[in-house]
């Protein structure tokens, strides 16, 4: 297997605090890999380093053979590695469809300014991007809110829009930050099915950070567990559930039951 993504000996220090310590693992193409660990273990820090929001102190992140760590997030995204669920990327005064169209410009020859001022390249892109935006909206089942202003959307729909915006940049690897947070059982099951479809129908590789252990166990091909900034285990869901170091890490934490 040639990995699509490699995390190699990544260490991140904030002053005297080591948030990630010498973490390494590979991700296979079209794999669904979850990163778990108790609160404060260093999961978000790891994700931020993969997506370009934070530069490792030492170590590197390799995507399809090219080092991406140290590049800014928009360059990492342009190469195909995109982190979703960030409300800051949503234009509240635009509709769902307009937001998804605008996000296509990350990959466009025309500048975003061109889109707003109607340059000829932007006009050429617009028809193509409109069709692609509609495909994404249909894929995510967001037809009913296609023309709704983002400012009117409840939290659940905003998260779905965040995913649509991420997909519009045509990623190969998508990083999902707590995709099941705040969801009830039915919503979680729908999101689990959707994440599987991202892989099965759109060929994406999916990395997720998540606290909902039953959902993680259901959805993951493989799981990496970190604790106090260090990788303590890596394996299939059943291997992780039976791993004494993982069980010990979760005992006494807020996520006390793993996979129950």
| Least distance from ligand ATP to the Cβ atom of residue 82, Å | 19
34-42, 68-76, 116-124, 166-174 -> range binding ligand ATP (CB under 6 A): 34-42
| Least distance from ligand ATP to the Cβ atom of residue 150, Å | 25
Distances (CA, A) of 10 to 18, 24, 27, 203: 11, 7, 15, 27
Cβ proximity to ligand ATP: between 39 and 88 the closer is 39
Q: What is the CA radius of gyration of the chain?
A: 19
156 scored as a contact of ligand ATP (CB under 6 A):
no
| Least distance from ligand ATP to the Cβ atom of residue 177, Å | 9
1-9, 32-40, 196-204, 215-223 -> range binding ligand ATP (CB under 6 A): 32-40
* Binding string, residues 1-20; x marks residues near ligand ATP by CB under 6 A: -------------x--x-x-
Return the biggest CA–CA distance within the chain: 61
Q: Give the sheet arrangement for strand 58-63, strand by strand.
A: 17-27, 5-14, 58-63, 66-67
Q: Which of the 8 DSSP states describes residue 95?
A: B
Contact yes or no for 227/41 (Cβ under 8 A):
yes
- Interacting residues with ligand ATP (CB under 6 A): 14, 17, 19, 37, 39-45
């Amino acid at each position: 297997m040639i990995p699509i993504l490699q995390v190699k000996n990544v260490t991140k220090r904030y002053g005297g605090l080591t948030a990630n310590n010498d973490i390494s693992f590979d991700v296979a193409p079209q794999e669904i890999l979850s990163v778990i660990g108790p609160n404060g273990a260093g999961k978000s820090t790891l994700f931020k380093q993969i997506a370009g929001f934070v530069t490792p102190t030492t170590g590197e992140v390799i995507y399809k053979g090219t080092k991406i760590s140290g590049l800014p997030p928009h360059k990492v995204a342009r190469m195909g590695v995109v982190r979703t669920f960030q409300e800051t990327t949503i234009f509240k005064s635009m509709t769902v469809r307009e937001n998804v169209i605008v996000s296509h410009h990350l990959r466009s020859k025309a500048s975003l300014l061109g889109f707003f001022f109607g340059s000829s390249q932007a006009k050429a892109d617009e028809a193509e991007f409109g069709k692609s935006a509609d495909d994404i909206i249909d894929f995510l089942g967001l037809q009913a809110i296609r023309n709704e202003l983002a400012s009117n959307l409840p939290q659940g729909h905003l998260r779905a829009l965040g995913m649509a915006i991420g997909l519009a940049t045509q990623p190969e690897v998508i990083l999902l930050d707590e995709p099941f947070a705040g969801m009830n059982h039915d919503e979680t099951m729908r999101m689990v099915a959707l994440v599987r479809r991202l892989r099965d129908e759109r060929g994406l590789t999916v990395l997720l950070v998540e606290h909902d252990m039953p959902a993680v166990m259901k959805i993951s091909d493989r799981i990496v567990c970190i604790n106090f900034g260090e990788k303590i285990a890596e394996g299939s869901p059943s291997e992780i559930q039976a791993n004494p170091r993982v069980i010990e890490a979760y005992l006494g934490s807020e996520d006390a039951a793993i996979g129950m």
